[in-house]
């Protein structure tokens, strides 16, 4: 199995020559959800409603980048034709992680890791239902939650550095992490029997 450093190296290769558009799409995603969240009274609802298709669009962009395709910025908005399943995955994962977090922080983290592949599965399976994408994510992550947790831990130093200049470093770090997660999913998908 590839190590965390090997997955990050794979991510850097996919970003080579593509840093500016990758930064642009990650920034656009953050700006849209940030602006929505500040709308008085309905900001939280707006983020909840649009977060699913926008997250699916972001995941699609970085998966296409990883696969050697040349995604365009419009990919971010290209998942609204799958509004219902992407909205439901977003909503259900938020609910499940919240409920597990009520028990303790650790079960909440484990739940977040367990459901982390749901949007990738949704992207690769156009006709899948939301609960089935979540179920397949749980199946895929059996025995791999620790791997993903360690992968996330390897970004802590970068996150601290990114936060120092008023958080501006996250403009670079976010696409790097997204590309690394795409590399993790592709590796995991290749190791998982059809479910």
Cα gap 39→42, rounded to integer Å: 6
Over residues 178-190, mean pLDDT:
95
Whole-number pLDDT of residue 169 = 86
Q: With bands split at pLDDT 50, 70 and 90, how would you rate the model's confidence at 168?
A: confident
Q: In the prediction, which pLDDT does 141 show? A: 95
pLDDT band for position 194 (50/70/90)?
low
Residue 51 token pair:
């977060």
Dihedral angle of Cα 51, 53, 59, 60, to the nearest 10 degrees = -160
Whether 61 has a pLDDT exceeding 80, the answer reads: yes
The C-alpha atoms of residue 44 and residue 38 are separated, in whole angstroms, by 8
Q: How confident is the model at residue 192 (pLDDT cuts 50, 70, 90)?
A: confident
């Amino acid at each position: 199995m590839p190590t965390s450093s090997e997955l990050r190296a794979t991510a850097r290769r996919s970003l080579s020559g593509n840093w500016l558009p990758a930064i642009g799409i990650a920034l656009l995603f953050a700006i849209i959800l940030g602006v929505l969240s500040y709308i008085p009274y309905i900001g939280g609802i707006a983020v909840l409603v649009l977060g699913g298709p926008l997250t699916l669009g972001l995941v699609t962009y970085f998966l296409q980048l990883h696969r050697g395709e040349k995604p365009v910025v419009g990919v971010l908005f290209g998942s609204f034709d799958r509004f219902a399943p992407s909205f439901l995955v977003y909503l259900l994962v938020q609910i499940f992680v919240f409920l597990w977090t009520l028990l303790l922080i650790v079960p909440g983290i484990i739940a977040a890791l367990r459901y982390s592949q749901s949007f990738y599965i949704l992207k690769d399976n156009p006709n899948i239902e939301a609960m089935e994408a979540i179920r397949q994510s749980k199946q895929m992550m059996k025995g791999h939650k620790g791997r993903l947790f360690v992968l996330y831990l390897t970004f802590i130093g970068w996150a601290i550095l990114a936060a120092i200049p008023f958080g501006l470093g996250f403009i670079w770090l976010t696409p790097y992490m997204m590309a690394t997660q795409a590399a993790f999913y592709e590796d995991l998908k290749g190791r998982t029997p059809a479910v």
